[in-house]
Structure 1
Amino acid sequence: MATLNTSGFWPTVSRIILRNRILILVLLVAATATLGTQWKHMRFTYTEANLLPDDHEVNVTYNKFLDIFGEEGNLIVLAVKDPALFTVRNFNAWNKLSKRFNAFPEVEAVISVGDLKKLVADRKNETFVLEDLIKTKLESADQVSKIKKELFENLPFYESLLYNKESGTLRTAVYIDKSIVNTSVRKNFVFNELIPLIESFEEETGLDVRVSGMPYVRTLNAQNIVDEIGLFVLGALLVTSFIFFFFFRSFRATFISMVVVIVGVMWAFGILGLLKYEITVLTALIPPLIIVIGIPNCIFFINKYQQEVKKHGNQAKSLQRVISKIGNATLMTNLTTASGFATFILTKSQLLKEFGIVASINIVAIFILSLLIIPIIYSFMSLPKTKHLKHLNKRWIGRFVGWMEHVVRNHRIEIYVVSLVLLIMSIIGIYQIKISGSLIEDMPKRADFFDDIRFFEEEFDGIMPLEVMIDTKRKNGVMKLSTLKRMDELENLIDETPELSKTISVTNLVKYSKQAYYNGKPKYYQLPSSQENSFILSYAKKSSDSANLLNSFVDSTGQVARITTFMQDIGTEKMEDIEESLWSKINKVFPEERYEVSLTGKALLFLKGTKYLINNLVISLSLAIILIALFMAYMFRSFRMIIISLIPNLLPLLITAGMMGFLGVPIKPSTILVFSIAFGISVDDTIHFLAKYRQELQANRWKVTKSVYAALKETGVSMFYTSIVLFFGFSVFMISSFGGTVALGGLVSATLLFAMLSNLLLLPCLLLSLEKSIANKKILKKPAIQILPKEDKEVKVDQDLT
């Protein structure tokens, strides 16, 4: 294998940068301005995250359902649980509110007690007609009571759709235009029309209106994502700048690092716009992520610059050495971090691909910005003063490094024992991890709309649509009594399942038709017998009103029917149990040769997407480990060094996974990202340490003990600084109102803290224990890549930077 000699490359890069400072600054400003023009193309997502590839069987089924019945998630529901609603004044105000909704072009239909229609048999014309439930203006409490009694006792067709008989909760269903459900028009309607009208009603009546439904929840949830981007960016800037200043005690150094990361954030937004990717709950994390990852670059560059200034006081020499000595090592660490994110590109999930592409591009971009901006800005400034260099001699840092050396020197066995115990405990914890496929689990629990979700779960058994699609394989096969009875048998199972709401389907309409035929008596709300079916259907065929109602439940050919139910927010295991129970019934009731039955809907889509994502991310993490192992092999040309470098980075991942099991944090789309992100970042410390260790081996004539401690002293401070910045930087995500983002921030922070301790304590111990097998000139003499230039290698210095 040929050795890649970078010893001449980086000094050349340093001269190019410092000799063309003005030109480079102009180019950076031009690039930033150009990317700034792309901000206008940034779009916020108006759809749920689809975690499955387009050609996945579950997606194909869902799209087939949408082709037949249209968008299923277009229902917004309003409800009031208060006896005061049934006063004349409040009841009329409630009905007026529904009529105002119906006037909006964005609204397809409104089902409310105010404009409710009763199905009535017209004996003269032998057909069914729809009559208004409320025929005259309500002026007395008696009239309101009669309407309430009629609805709650005589119209079971509307039970669970409009009312809860037990609690007295009254509901209004607002179906918005399916064509605007996944567009910005939905957002404008919710914020500019729906919410103001509801607030006005609440102010007028003093009643508390609960609002939910997927379009409403998605709109408010998306707005929370938008609001939190600014919060994350500001929080990350404040936290990292404070920590940076605490370490360096220099406003100038802090200012320069802030310039680097702010430009990095501007580029991140520009790249999102340039690629025309939507801002999702994942891509929204990239700007603050760039800040958190960019600050360690600044620490390495600025710390090295100040060390050089303290050593010889020559600014030109210091800046050139910063680029030539730190540039390559920082490039390697940024590439490994970018590789960790880039593995997401290999998944078949479009959501993850976009996240991986933008994150990896921006990580490389923030390295380039650090490499160019920091030396150039410092070149225009005077040399740092003595007070700016005091942090290099801080006693507490010296004590920290001394403590690490003491522990490695005297307590190696204890470190191995603690590591082994943590490993065993982690494995136990891993077996307790659960998988979560909930659509709403990560939504902000402090938000009012989350309380409303729970309210509708208690009152109407959920808001997440679950659909059963039944293809009878023949025209008008749905309305055959045998099919209706089979559907009714399946619906009885669904109705008896506590986690599912009462079903809505063509069988409800047929039962209602029989009730209407028998003068509206509730006891006849049931499927007709074979004798009754023929003449009841003859009434229905003549009824245009019945046909309009039928269109919601059956396709235009009468071949395909749907059964709609709504699911509560339940765990993945429970959802799988329900799915298994439904399929067991479906396979028993619907013969495969006569019927083709599919389960679909957003609730099931998200469950399947979560499981698919977990499988893909396990592959992604494995690829990241293999990729970085190959990277280590190329750098150090030693299988033993690969193993040694992976152990201190895999152990923190296992510890974090164990913590998730013990703390009850489930595996879900947000938390599974932790491992790839943390691994890609934590391996940077290993690269820095091993590169310095190898350099010390050469300088100390292959004396392992001396080299290990020298590397520990040299890299320990920078590793500590960067790990603390990363720890608190990722902790910023814990201020989020989204449970998944909070878990992501906390888990990555914990993993990186464990990784720092592992690289500063366990890694040196492994090197010392395996002294004879790795301190071999044949193994380490000529690395494929010279990460750090030799200490005695001088570079040609431009003395004049003015």
Structure 2
Amino acid sequence: MNQQSLFARLLTYLAFQRSIGFGLENIGLATLRFPRLIALCVAAFTLLCIYQLPKANVDGNLMRIYANSGHYYDAYQRLADTFGTFENDIYVLVHSDQLTDPQILEQVRNLAFDLELNDYAIGTMSPFTLRKPDGSGGSVPAVPEGMTDKNQVSAALADLQQNDPMMRNLITPDLTGVVLIMFPNSEMTRDGGTQGMLASLRQLAAQYQTDDLQIELTGPPIWTSEMLGAAVNDQIRFTVYGFTIGAIIAFFALRSFFGALLVAATPFVALIWSVGTVLMMFGSFSFLTIIVTTLVLVMAFAESMFFIFNWLAHWRDGTDPSDAVDKTLRLVGPATALTTLTTLVAFTSLYFSPGRGVEEFSLAGAVGSAIMFISMMTVLPLLLKAALKLGFKLPKAPSLALNAPIPFAWSVARKLARPVTTLSALAVVLLFVPYFLIEPRFAIEDFMAKNSSAMATAGEIDTGVGGVAPIYIRVPMKGNDPAISDADFKTVRTVHDILENELGPNKVISAASMNNYTQSGFSRAQVLDAVGPFMRRRFVTDDGTQALVTGFMPTILESGRLADIVTSLETQIRAAGIAGAEVGGFRVMTTFATDDIVRSLQVSLAVSVLINIFLIGFAFQSLRIALVSIIPNLFPILGTEAYLWLSGSGLQLTTVIALTIAFGIAVNDTIHFLSHYVHSRRDQRRDHADAVKETLFRIGGAIVATTVILCTGTIIVAFSELPQVALFGTLFVLSLALALIGDLFMLPAILMAGGKFFDPLGRLRVRLADHQPKHVVAIDEM
């Protein structure tokens, strides 16, 4: 009996006696009750986070984003562990119209040797470091030394370019350029050492740069360095601009300088907390988690603006300003808690998608959302109470510009409720078409900084020689012969030809590339010994159990085309009866992993939408509330996906993340609107139409102000040097703008069109604030 009674009481609480914020607003009530203790906790945690700030850094390793993302990530890891890869190599493009001049050629040779002696190099590959068998058991330079005549040089380079498969990828057909490849020491480039390596290489290049000799660097480490620099610059700019713009908008909205400071103070603290917490959790930011700080900043600005907007409204209504803080916290706090929960759901839904980067982003975003809420419940009430003690005066009424759309929105809801509702529902249904048609897309250039000189250099290499985007095929060998047995060589030759048929002639290197030497009478062991131990391991393992075939693709290659290449290769290899061969590479891994991640994120987005709609209905204990929230909250997401489909951008990693998080934030205004509407119906005893009007005029200006702050604070992201980040900002702003239309025009119209259907909302029994509604009926009394 006692157990039944306990269960009944628990069920009664969950169903009726809790607030719509599930009691989380009690954090704010504790702040009002124990201000000194909470202030001490706030100060201590702020100091702890400030202590972390000097450690702030961004990890530029893209592998961190794709780690644990599936089969192709595992294949790439096996490949890198076995052979090493060309993914972290530095490509030096040397161009000269006088390359066949013996003196110019010797300068390039000296550059190649200095590159090999660089402290950061563990090996190099170039026409000057490569050797070929001399026929007597030794080897000689592939590019003869001591040439004194241009014709000699021209003949030697032309012979290598035309007859040596490896040289075709290092010497341009017109004999005006050569490519030198440096293999960095991974131990020295770890933990920020890449910047020192690049500085050393640029200094070396500058020593040889002349009017007759142009030297350009490219390769993944340089691309990543450019991305890292752009990401750090973006974050500094976003933080400064976002904070400044938010404060300026708050100033014009509230028409008070000190009011704007109060709005800006809490986001500032939330930003410090979020940066410090992410650093404590992960040790550094990634290209994804760095976005979280901007999101926390703009979300905190929006919620702070909404809180103060309501506080000042109560003050203007005649409530004592100190009591108005309490009243606002008790009324707005539960709705703010529910909006935080919906944002948490949006972030948490991402956690179950593959890839460490998405997992970290999910955790960082969820923690950032919680931090934002806690700062709202602690820092803001303390600041408002302190401001009143310091003599803060009631500002003028809010700017008329904020309320300008409100009368029009009410006119539409009152006069055109049914047509607007019908059109809204039809629009949402039609927008499902592009939702099902849109496809994932991956392009490496979307991750690179705009106007990247290194990418331009990579394009020149693509045009002139083999390219800098490798694709690998790991081939198991049965003979376990480091010199490659005849049977295994035949297998390598078959795979080599399959890959070359896909990429084109002279775009593949492997042990089979040396066939011209073996046909001249040299043994495979002699040829492999001649290339040196480092390069030898790029062709065959020391134990002779595996061989590697490497192809070079264009740097910029559409993801669909790459996927087709990989599928074709795997099909042909299986048809050739070669078991255990594995296609891999960074581009392969990122293309297929992105596809898997994006499709998983699409599911996460759908799950997030369903859970949040259910959560809203459960929080209010009303199916009608859940139903009325569907159209205004689906419209911005589906509308943004339609934009992606029409623009041909496709679904990318950051775009789905943007959609998921934008949905979680866009729901916030809907919750605040419905919370005020129900409060007006139930506690203020207004009829249905009057409650819609009162809610629209009461908080419409706050909805406009928060959306403006969110959009203007985030639109800065759209100007990022990184295309993925720029697209994130564009989609985020578009989603929020469409959400504003949904909340100001669709939601009131749907409520008005529903008429008597929404009458029961005036009898909801769940708490909106800190008091018990009059209509609560305990379960054991029913």
Q: TM-score, normalised by structure 2?
A: 0.90
Report whether the alignment pairs 1:36 with 2:20.
Answer: no
1:351 maps to what in 2? Answer: 357
One-letter identity of the residue aligned with 1:577? D
State which of 574, 590, 599 in structure 2 corresponds to 1:587.
574
Cα distance in structure 2, aligned partners of 1:215 and 1:193:
13
Could you tell me which residue of structure 2 aligns to residue 237 of structure 1? 243
1:65 is aligned, of 47, 71, 79, to 79
Aligned partner of residue 209 in structure 1, secondary structure:
strand
Q: Which moved more, 1:295-304 or 1:628-637?
A: 628-637
Within 2, Cα distance between the matches of 1:267 and 1:342? 19
Cα deviation per residue 1:566-589 (whole Å; 9 max; x = unaligned)? Answer: 222222221121112212221122
Residue in 2 that maps onto 1:415 = 420
Once the two structures are overlaid, the 10-residue window that deviates more, 409-418 or 97-106, is 409-418
2:179 is aligned with 1:135: no
Q: Relative to 1, partners in 2 of residues 1:446 and 1:263: Cα closer, same or farther, differing over 3 Å?
A: same
Match of 1:374 among 360, 380, 385: 380
3-state SS, counterpart of residue 171 of structure 1: strand
Structure 1 residue 98: deviation in Å? 2.1
Aligned partners of 2:28, 2:687: CA distance in 1, in Å?
A: 32
Query: How do 1:33-432 and structure 2 match up within 5 A?
Result: 33-39=47-53, 41-50=55-64, 52=66, 54=68, 56-122=70-136, 127-131=137-141, 133-136=143-146, 141=150, 144-145=153-154, 147-153=156-162, 155-160=164-169, 162-166=170-174, 168-180=176-188, 183-190=191-198, 192-202=199-209, 204-205=210-211, 207-312=213-318, 314-382=320-388, 389-392=395-398, 394-416=399-421, 418-419=423-424, 422-423=427-428, 426-430=431-435
Contact 1:46–1:182 (Cα < 8 Å) also in 2:
no
Displacement of 1:755 = 0.9
Q: Give the Cα–Cα distance (whole angstroms) in 2 for the partners of residues 348 and 167 of structure 1.
A: 46
For each residue in 1:277-331, what CA deviation from the matched residue of structure 2 results, as whole angstroms up to 9, or x when unmatched? 4311111111111111110111112112222222226232122222222222222
Output one character per residue of 1:23-49: Cα deviation in whole Å (capped at 9) or x when no partner: 433332221111222345544324224
Structure 2 gap ranges (5+): 1-10, 775-782
Correspondence 1:582-621 to 2 at 5 A: 582-589=569-576, 591-592=577-578, 595-621=579-605
**Given residue 139 of structure 2, which amino acid in structure 1 is its aligned partner?**
V
Distance 2:309 2:330 in 1: 14
What letter corresponds to residue 484 of structure 1 in structure 2? F
Alignment of 1:291-690 (within 5 A): 291-312=297-318, 314-382=320-388, 389-392=395-398, 394-416=399-421, 418-419=423-424, 422-423=427-428, 426-430=431-435, 433-476=438-481, 479-498=484-503, 502-515=507-520, 517=521, 536-537=523-524, 549-568=535-554, 569-589=556-576, 591-592=577-578, 595-690=579-674
- Aligned residue number for residue 780 of structure 2: none
* Aligned-residue identity in percent: 18
Secondary structure of the equivalent of 1:224?
helix
Name the SS of the counterpart of 2:395 in structure 1: helix
Q: Tell me the SS of whatever aligns to 2:217.
A: strand
Q: Distance in 2 between matches of 1:500 and 1:603?
A: 20
Quote the Cα distance in structure 1 between the aligned partners of 2:610 and 2:437.
Answer: 27
Task: Check the 8 A contact 2:517/2:527 in 1, yes or no.
Answer: no
The answer to whether the 8 A contact 1:80-1:169 is kept is yes
Query: For 1:246 and 1:302, how far apart are their aligned partners in 2?
Result: 14
Which letter does structure 1 place at the counterpart of 2:168?
E
| Matched-pair contact (CA < 8 Å) for 1:445–1:451 | no
Letter in 1 for 2:470: P
Q: 1:65 to 1:111 in 2, by over 3 A?
A: closer
Task: Give the unaligned 5+ runs of structure 1.
Answer: 518-534, 793-802
Specify the code of the residue in structure 1 equivalent to 2:40.
Answer: V
Which stretch has the larger CA shift, 467-476 or 645-654? 467-476
For the residues of structure 2 that align with 1:386 and 1:128, how far apart are their CA atoms? 89
Q: CA deviation at 1:251?
A: 1.4
**Aligned mates of 1:293, 1:41 — CA distance in 2:** 25
Amino acid paired to 1:786 = L
Distance 2:661 2:23 in 1: 30
Contact 2:270 2:296 in 1 (8 A): yes
Q: In the comparison of the two structures, how many residue pairs are matched?
A: 760
Choose 96-105 or 244-253, whichever is displaced more.
96-105
Q: Give the Cα separation in 1 of the matches to 2:773 and 2:400.
A: 26
Specify the SS of the correspondent of 1:369.
Answer: helix
Structure 1 contact 13–323 (Cα < 8 Å) conserved: no
Q: In structure 1, the residue corresponding to 2:299 is in which secondary structure?
A: helix
Residue by residue over 1:59-97, the C-alpha shift from the partner in whole angstroms, topping out at 9 and shown as x without a partner, is 332222223213442321111343144445543333222
Worse-superposed segment, 487-496 or 368-377: 487-496
Distance 2:259 2:332 in 1: 17
Return the alpha-carbon distance in structure 1 between the equivalents of residues 765 and 79 of structure 2.
Answer: 62
Contact 1:42/1:276, CA 8 A, preserved across alignment: no
- For the aligned residue pairs, the C-alpha RMSD in angstroms reads 3.1
- Deviation per CA, 1:211-245: give whole Å up to 9, x if none: 22222222332232222221221121122222222
CA contact (8 A) 2:296 2:369 kept: yes
Q: How many angstroms apart in 2 are the aligned matches of 1:472 and 1:728?
A: 59
* C-alpha deviation, 1:339, in angstroms: 2.1
SS of 2:317's partner is helix
CA contact (8 A) 2:474 2:547 kept: yes
Worse-superposed segment, 473-482 or 271-280: 473-482
Q: Distance in 2 between matches of 1:638 and 1:311?
A: 30
Code of the residue aligned with 1:684 in structure 2: it is: N
Could you tell me which amino acid in structure 1 is paired with residue 134 of structure 2? V
CA distance in 2, matches of 1:683, 1:767: 16
Distance 1:206 1:537 in 2: 39
Alpha-carbon offset, residue 428 of structure 1: 4.5
1:4 pairs, out of 17, 23, 33, with: 17
Cα displacement string for residues 592-621 of structure 1 (whole angstroms, at most 9, x for unaligned residues): 5xx311111111110121011112212221
> Shift in Å at residue 384 of structure 1?
10
- 8 Å CA contact 2:131, 2:530 repeated in 1: no
CA distance in 1, matches of 2:219, 2:184: 11
Q: 2:756 & 2:709 partners in 1: Cα distance?
A: 36
Quick check: 1:405–1:712 contact (8 Å CA) kept in 2? yes
Contact 1:347 1:616 in 2 (8 A): yes
Contact 2:88 2:221 (8 Å CA) reproduced: yes
Deviations 1:612-656 (A, max 9, x none): 111221222123123212311222222232122122101211111
Distance 1:588 1:118, change over 3 A: same
Pick which of 751-760 and 12-21 moved more. Answer: 12-21
- Higher alpha-carbon deviation: 668-677 or 254-263: 254-263
Give the partner amino acid of 1:35.
C
Q: Which amino acid aligns with 1:572?
A: S
Q: Give, in angstroms, the shift of residue 175 of structure 1.
A: 1.4
Letter in 2 for 1:562: L
